[in-house]
Amino acid sequence: MQLDNEKLRSYYSDPQEDLSLDDVDLERLPRHVSIIMDGNGRWATARGLDRSRGHVAGVDALREAVTTSVRLGLDAFSVYAFSTENWRRPQREVDLLMHLFATTLVKELPLFHQENVRLRFLGDLDALPERTRVVFQRGLDETRDHTGMTFALAVNYGSRAEMTRAARDLARDVLEGTISVDDIDERAVSERLYTAGLPDPDLLIRTSGELRLSNYLLWQLAYTEFYVTDTLWPDFGKWDYLRAILAYQGRSRRFGGVTRQ
């Protein structure tokens, strides 16, 4: 995706401590950033609020993160919104999240049109409430021809379930004779994952300080750089995002090799 330096500098024009856009190498930005959005409930509890208020506040943080990703010229931006394990949460909280997914998507469609963002979903959507599925399909249909950044929302997603599904699809293809066992390689597996066609994430950000992947993109994150911050998701803003980019640019990505001296 083409980087618009003028828009980016305008976006980061407000002074913030000693951080500046000039500290960032705009020639070495990641293609794909993914975020595990964590800490909504703790954010609300710390303020004496119901957990639901944390999820609502998290929507505002997500909107800013999408805008920031567009301004940075990313090819892809993905977030972990609802896992296959999140169904274990109280029904009231699950219902609220499903309602938020639907209402937020409708509200944000004008932004996606304005920024030429293409929407995509990762996960098994069949288990979602009908209204949520209908709204998701509307988002897919309305942004299908957009040519800018891909925004991938992982909903009812679990990486082990994703890989099990890919293995089942490959086994079925072998049984049907469309491929042979020898055709199964890393590319064949990748093409049957929800992320098929997307670049693997270069940078994974996890908020709230937790040091685990929570069954997220286990295949795709094989050589991804991790950045963990204690900041709770509703408080994560564009300057926090910039700090993560700076940390990423300070890493040496060797992909199993060695750094040339």
pLDDT at 22 over 80: yes
Which listed residue (38, 156, 202, 240) is catalytic?
38
Q: Domain 29-158+201-249, what fold? A: Undecaprenyl pyrophosphate synthetase (3.40.1180)
The secondary structure of 123-141, three-state, reads CCHHHCCHHHHHHHHHHHH
Domains of the chain by residue range: 29-158+201-249
**CA-closest candidate to residue 20, choices 176, 239, 172:** 239
Report the alpha-carbon angle 78-150-107, nearest 5. Answer: 85
What tens digit of pLDDT does each residue of 143-187 get?
999 999 999 999 999 999 999 999 999 999 999 999 999 999 999
Handedness of CA 21, 237, 38, 144 (dihedral sign): negative
Specify the pLDDT at position 36.
98
Handedness of CA 208, 210, 214, 216 (dihedral sign): positive
240 catalytic? Reply is no
pTM of the model as a whole:
0.94
Q: Under a CB-based contact definition with an 8 Å cutoff, are residues 94 and 86 in contact?
A: yes
Which listed residue (4, 50, 75, 86) is catalytic?
86
38 catalytic? Reply is yes
The two three-digit tokens of residue 94, written as one number: 């699950």
